[in-house]
A and B are shown apart, each in its own frame.
Chain A
Amino acid sequence: MSAQTFQTIAPRPAPVNTDGFVAWCKINLFRDWKTSLGTAIIGAILLAVLPPFFRWAIVNAAWVPDHEVCHQAAGACWGVVREKFRFIIFGRYPFDEHWRALIATAMLLSLIIASCMRVCWKAWLPVLWAAVLSVYFTLMYGGVFGLAKVETDMWSGLPLTILLASLSMTMAFPIALVIALGRRSGMPAIRSLCTVYVELIRGVPLISVLFMASFMFPLLMPQGFSIDVLIRVLAGITLFAAAYMAEVIRGGLQAIPKGQIEAAATLGLSYWQTQRKIVLPQALAMVVPGIMNNFISTFKDTSLVAIVSLYELTGAMQMAMNSDANWRPFRIEGYLFIALIYFVFCFAMSRYSKWIEQQVNKSKLR
């Protein structure tokens, strides 16, 4: 029998067109009777809900900052946001000094955004952090350069939310790393210490951690010795977030095959070199969504500091509404407004997490 030549079959286009709007609708909305039914039900719900909401929020809404007009309007009263805007955003911070909080927060936000960008991941970044934070606290606290002194319990609103969230996340992350490594340590003492820490913190709600940081901690200190309430609260949130984040990171550490660590050992790498160069880069890349989850929930958890009389965004909004009888009925609008602010921040974090995932997964693309 003579040998045959191997013949490749030329590639052909798919028989059904999958491009274009009509094709998309057919595949995603009306594939069979079940998807068509689903589309119909969801469509009906949207039709029932959206037009009334639209009428309430836009058509019949009152936009002027006048509570008389608002009481008469059939729709939403967005005038309340215009009227109380600065109280919602800056809370108890002295009215004439709002510019300081604005500049300080803008600086902090720019620093955070810069830190998120690859071009800024250089050795000078920590130096920049130190510089910006010292300017930040000088500006916010005052007492020098002719700036009026503003005690930390007056810091509030969005600046406080951003301060608490960004500092506690930045500090919680390294603590979480150490705890996660500690829980997998070969040394039993370190391992149990880290386990006890995680279980203790996870066993109590954040609100009680804050309560303890604020009220119990001073009782245990010698008389005349006190730490600023803001710092105590910051420490509380940080330690709380670190415990959760440590478990997320530990999940990543456990997914690293043993072979990776063995290969590093045969190459002569020390424990810390192995963790830093081999284990952590891969483990962290795997848990980016989980860590971002923690960040986002920490951001929103800052609203619990109201329990210790610090008024961040949510607290400031409530205070702005409650302090004025004329506007009190319009708190739904107030809540929607701060919900929008929270959403903007959380959505930005979630998009950033997606970008990070793409960056770290480059090595897995074929």
Chain B
Amino acid sequence: MSEPIITFDKVNKWYGNNFHVLRDIDLSVAKGERIVICGPSGSGKSTLIRCINRLEEHQQGHLIVDGIELTDDVKAIDQVRKEVGMVFQQFNLFPHLTVLENLTLSPMWVGKMPKKEAEEKAMEQLKRVRIAEQAKKYPLQLSGGQQQRVAIARALCLKPKIMLFDEPTSALDPEMIKEVLDVMIEMASQGITMLCVTHEMGFAKAVADRVIFMDQGQIVEQNNPHDFFNNPQNERSRDFLSKILGH
């Protein structure tokens, strides 16, 4: 295994005093690795990936992303966020900006890129997610699947080394899930490190190098998708799989 790009070392997190949401998380992610995280709701999977770009703070343990340890140091957080793109369940596009403006915002204001160059780069990304013809529209004028593809393109504009997906297809109509997954599968083939919280087991089987199953804030089991789906080791994961695949 090559040099890890993300390392969790005994990471713990609580919400308030009593809700222990992440418990002794040890995890290392290799450069270019594609990981799918699944588990019942409330198991801490979203919290886990949100710690990676410090949308959530961990209270114990060490979390190192691309050689930078995440602490209260604002500069370190900014540094990490430059390398980490994120896609949310609710898209979180900026509704008052056009699709193109959504994409050029960060390159222009954070990256200080000239407008023209930023727009060219943005159009490239929009082509990549097959939505270039919608560049001048506003997000709310697009379908859910289109919005999520814009959100992916927006994250890609930062040229991140790591992409985090927080249930990217859970808010979509069934007919639109495929168009988003297709874009993600294409991304997976290009060597970017991906961590994806999802229950799309087809996606996991197709692209994941590793599947992580979480419950109660712990990593219960991790394995390659073939073994995880065909021969789960832990009775908790077996039970979970029988529920989501059983019908």
Contact = CB atoms under 8 A, between A and B. Distances in A.
B88 interface: yes
Given A262-B55, A273-B109, A277-B109, A268 B96 contact: no
B92 to A, nearest CB: 4
A278 B140 contact: no
Interface stretch (B2-10, B78-86, B118-126): B78-86
Q: What is the size category of the interface that chain A forms with chain B? A: 20 to 34
A282 interface: yes
Contact of B92 (A260, A270, A281): A260
Interface in B78-110: 78, 81-82, 84-86, 88, 90, 92-98, 105-106, 109-110
A135 B184 CA distance: 62
Contacts of A282: 94-96
B203 interface: no
Contacts of A264: 94
Contacts of B21: none
Given A263-B94, A268-B78, A363 B109 contact: no
A277 B90 contact: no
B58 interface: no
B53 A269 contact: no
B135 to A, nearest CB: 14
Given A273-B109, A277-B109, A278-B94, A266 B140 contact: no
A278 B158 CA distance: 18
Nearest to B81: A268
B55 A266 contact: yes
* Main DSSP-derived SS at the A contact region: helix
B204 interface: no
A204 interface: no
A259 B98 CA distance: 18
A262 to B, nearest CB: 6
B155 interface: yes
**Most A C-beta atoms less than 10 A away, residue of B95, B140, B141:** B95
A266 B88 CA distance: 10
B110 A363 contact: no
A366 B55 contact: no
Given A259-B90, A363-B96, A269 B106 contact: yes
A112 B178 CA distance: 53
A266 B84 contact: yes
Interface string A346-366: 000000000000001011111
A268 B95 contact: no
A364 B88 CA distance: 21
A285 B95 CA distance: 12
A259 B106 CA distance: 16
Contacts of B138: 362-364
A260 B94 contact: yes
**Most A C-beta atoms less than 10 A away, residue of B82, B85, B109, B140:** B109
Contact of B109 (A263, A269, A360): A269
B154 interface: yes
Contacts of A273: 109-110
A277 B55 contact: no
B66 to A, nearest CB: 14
B55 to A, nearest CB: 6
Interface in A262-289: 262-270, 273, 277-278, 281-282, 285
A266 B86 contact: yes
Contacts of A366: 140-141
A264 B139 CA distance: 16
Contact of B110 (A259, A269, A278, A281): A269
A28 B84 CA distance: 58
A267 B140 contact: no
B154 A267 contact: yes
Interface in B147-193: 154-155, 158
Contacts of A263: 86, 88, 92-94
Contacts of A364: 95, 138, 140
A257 B138 CA distance: 18
Nearest to A260: B92
A285 B96 contact: yes
Contacts of B105: 267, 269, 277
Contacts of A270: 110
A39 B98 CA distance: 47
B96 to A, nearest CB: 5
A233 to B, nearest CB: 37
A264 B84 CA distance: 13
Given A267-B106, A269-B109, A282-B94, 17 more contacts: A257-B90, A257-B92, A259-B88, A263-B88, A265-B81, A266-B55, A266-B81, A266-B84, A267-B81, A267-B105, A267-B110, A277-B105, A282-B96, A285-B96, A363-B97, A363-B139, A366-B140
16 contacts: A259-B92, A262-B55, A262-B92, A263-B86, A266-B81, A266-B86, A267-B81, A267-B105, A267-B154, A268-B78, A270-B110, A273-B109, A273-B110, A281-B96, A362-B138, A363-B98
Interface of A: 257, 259-260, 262-270, 273, 277-278, 281-282, 285, 360, 362-366
Question: What are the 10 A-B residue pairs with the smallest beta carbon separation, nearest first?
Answer: A263-B92, A267-B106, A259-B92, A363-B138, A266-B86, A268-B110, A268-B81, A281-B96, A363-B96, A282-B96
